[in-house]
Amino acid sequence: MDNKRIISGIKNRDVEIFEELFFNYHGRLVLFANKFIGDMQVSRDLVQDAFFMLWEKTDQLDIKKSPKAYLYQSVKNSCLNYNRHLSIKENAEAEISTRIAELERQVYDGTKTPYLSLIEQELEEKIAEVIEQMPSKCQEVFKMSRFEGLKNKEIAERLGISVKMVEKHISKALVILRHELAEYVGVLLAMFISKM
């Protein structure tokens, strides 16, 4: 491909040039992304995002090499960011699950004190309040995941969105909960430690 012609076409938002780029590189980029992600649907989403950004932010982009090199680097960066995002999400979920499991152990092994009962009730009310204040789509996805027990793929199919978007909503909900419940978690952990 003639890089000068392609770069000029990109800057002028030439639809034919974008179609040429898409048909030449889309499939190869998806396979490239899948080496990092291991999920074809997410890989397709990330490649689609790269083409979308190329079209939407043409004026802000400085393509110094070839458009092909730019697209591959863009997709690679998106894959690395996605994997970092997954790692943060998994760590947050593990931390919250551990704390909830510890609370359940305290509640059901007979060591729950009246004070702990009060804290537990207050915590449940606070959790419900925080969930109700989440953005509507984030709240809907989180409830379907945690209260209805649906898998991410099932939620995506039901709402007509990508699995990637489902994961983003759940991750956002967990970050909100973690932030809003920080003071309660600290109190409960202090109580647990004092009983060990």
Report pLDDT for 191. Answer: 44
Please check whether the two domains, 3-81 and 112-195, share a CATH topology.
Answer: no
pLDDT tens figures, 2-12: 656 766 677 76
Q: How far is CA 71 from CA 24, 67, 161, 180, in A?
A: 12, 6, 24, 39
Calpha distance 55→149 (Å, rounded):
38
The DSSP symbol for 109 reads: T
Q: Report the residue count for the chain.
A: 196
> Are the beta carbons of 145 and 93 closer than 8 angstroms?
no
Is residue 93 within 8 Å of residue 178, measured between CB atoms?
no
User: Which CATH fold would you assign to the domain 112-195?
Assistant: Arc Repressor Mutant, subunit A (1.10.10)
pLDDT digits 0-9 by tens, 70-93 = 888 889 998 988 888 777 777 777
> If you average pLDDT over each of 1-5, 47-51, 98-102, 174-178, which comes out highest?
47-51
Q: Greater confidence, 171 or 114?
A: 171
SS3 state at 125: helix
Least confident of 27-41, 61-75, 111-125: 111-125
| Distance, CA of 23 to CA of 144 (rounded, Å) | 37
- What phi, psi does 181 have (nearest 5°)? -105, 10
Report how far apart, in Å, the C-alpha atoms of 47 and of each of 54, 59, 111 are: 11, 20, 53
Q: Which two tokens stand for residue 192?
A: 């647990």
Confidence of residue 106 (pLDDT cuts 50, 70, 90): low
Q: Average the pLDDT over 154-173 and give the result.
A: 89
HEC sequence for 79-100: HHHHHHHHHHHHHHHHHHHHHH
Ranges of H-type helices in the chain: 3-11, 15-37, 40-56, 67-108, 114-132, 136-146, 152-159, 163-180, 182-195
What is the domain partition of the chain in residue ranges?
3-81, 112-195
Q: What is the architecture of the domain spanning 3-81? A: Orthogonal Bundle (1.10)
